[in-house]
Amino acid sequence: MPSTKPCLVAAIAAGVALVSLPAAAQQPQAELHIDVATHSAPGMPGMGAAGRLAGMMGGGKASYGMARHPAMPGKYLDLALYNRNRPGTAARQAIPEGARMGPHLDLLPPPRPVETARDANPIANATGQADGGRGRILYYWGCGETVGAGQPREFSFEVRDGEFRTTGDAPAPRAVADAGISAGPEYGLWPNDTHGPMVPADASLRGGHHVTGEALPDSMRFELQQAHDFMPALDVER
């Protein structure tokens, strides 16, 4: 069950002007779009063997758009910067130590159009892996002391003869209202092809952030509070 928290930070540089403009006519020099998601499955932190296999297939890296359409349980973060004076230029966002991803994140323009397909699935799209890997996922739903009719649904996978094969079917993810941007080459993005590690399980975004780059105002400093941080893991009693 994913939970997303979009956030928009806009910066208007202060200065001396000969002509006074009404507030409605002022446009921010830069806009930073932040999508934060916590995706959890009761009793399956990281999806066990399936999560480890998916992580190996993806090289342990995230891609932009996963905060809105996560494929596996975990924490996800998407950053998109629009620099009105220098569209599509690189920038850097200093992050708090608790984020556990280094002192900063590099926001880079995409080398190609960004795909954020709702049906993206790192397991289903993997090919050419070594033989021997296999796993099985059982899906239950609803509440109560007894298992409902038709449950569980089973989805299994294995690598055979260098091909990734699946049997059964996984439930389709619930649709989430898409209120985000369409990130093109005019944006600086994180994660990206150069810098995009998976967000650590114990990461927190609470604290001070500062975005710097060409033609960006120094006022792009802000604090994120707990309300916009990742959510804690589900604690389910059996």
What are the sequence ranges of the domains in the chain? Answer: 2-12+30-114+182-228
Residue 176 one-letter amino acid: V
Q: Look at the block and give the residue holding tokens 């006519």.
A: 25
* 197 within 8 A of 60, measured Cβ to Cβ: yes
- Model confidence pLDDT, tens digit, residues 26-75: 678 899 999 999 887 665 555 444 444 444 444 567 889 888 877 678 89
The larger pLDDT score, comparing residue 156 to residue 99, is at 99
> Cis peptide before 45, with omega less than 30 degrees from 0?
no
Residue 72 one-letter amino acid: M
Name every residue whose Cβ is closer than 8 Å to that of residue 122 and which is 6 or more positions away in sequence: 54, 57, 58, 71, 72
- Average pLDDT of span 142-153: 82
* 207 within 8 A of 96, measured Cβ to Cβ: yes
Q: What is the pLDDT of residue 56?
A: 44
Q: pTM value?
A: 0.64
